Amino acid sequence: MSFALLTSALLTAFVLHSKEDMASIAYPFDFSNLKNVVSVAVITALNEFVVMNHSILLEGLFYDMSVLFISEFAQQTKNVQNCINKFANAEVKNVTKFESSIEILRQQYISLVECFDHSNKILCHYLFGSYAAVIPGYCFMLYGITRDVLTAGETMYIAFVSLSHIALITMFTAMGAILSIKAHAPLDALMKIDLLSVTDKTVHSVNLFVSRLTGPTIGYRVYELFTLDTNTILAVIGTLLTYTVVMLQFSGSSNINNCSLNITVN
């Protein structure tokens, strides 16, 4: 809450300090009298305080849940590796015990994935809003900067908002990619099992385990549109770079003077 108060206070002070540049953002209020100035300050402070608190709560929820599931998937991978290594290094192999252990680990993993899917249903709405807002905001910022249609104060304000969104989805993408990697980590350990030395039931359990790991990508899914994994990193970077190049090209073309043609009709 203290961070939200500090941020809202700083942004309010910036708006009041750059009131001539921020007139369009404060519309329909202006800075012609004390009443309007106080109204702008109160509305700006309350708006930023609510927005910052909402963002901090959701970002904290996303971060905490991500760290929790990353740790759980890492522990699950460690358990699978220990079980396989213990069986492989044993002089007398107890195939019945190994069969039971693999099946228990598989069921635990499926339960963990189901728990993660329930958490994803809570966060997917916020993730969609964040990713959907960053592209338009980034484009408006570039448009205003390249076309010189924004004042200095408006440019700084919009740049702060846009860069904050970019930093936010950077955190989302990085945490999502790490979680997806950890969730698929047991696959390497399962591929080391000597299927010739185990029972048919064990082979069946391993096949089911591998099928889930190689099936639909495990990770944060945003309305089934995309999943936060390592591919999303390249997609986000590529999208931002593409819009940057397009905006710069349009900016360059707008500065070219078109030759006017004079047509004389007899």
pLDDT at 16 (0 to 100) = 59
Domain edges within the chain: 58-252
Q: What is the pLDDT of residues 60-116, one digit of tens each?
A: 889 999 999 999 999 999 999 999 999 888 888 888 898 999 999 999 999 999 999
Which residue, chain included where needed, has tokens 């996303």? 62
Q: Chain-wide mean pLDDT for the chain? A: 81
pLDDT at 249 (0 to 100) = 78
Buried b vs exposed e over 7-24: b needs ≥16 C-beta within 10 Å?
bbeebbebbbebbebbbe
Residues sharing a CB contact under 8 Å with residue 87, sequence separation 6 or more, in sequence order? 93, 94, 98, 101
What does pTM read for this prediction? Answer: 0.79
Q: Tell me the percentage of the chain whose pLDDT exceeds 90.
A: 32
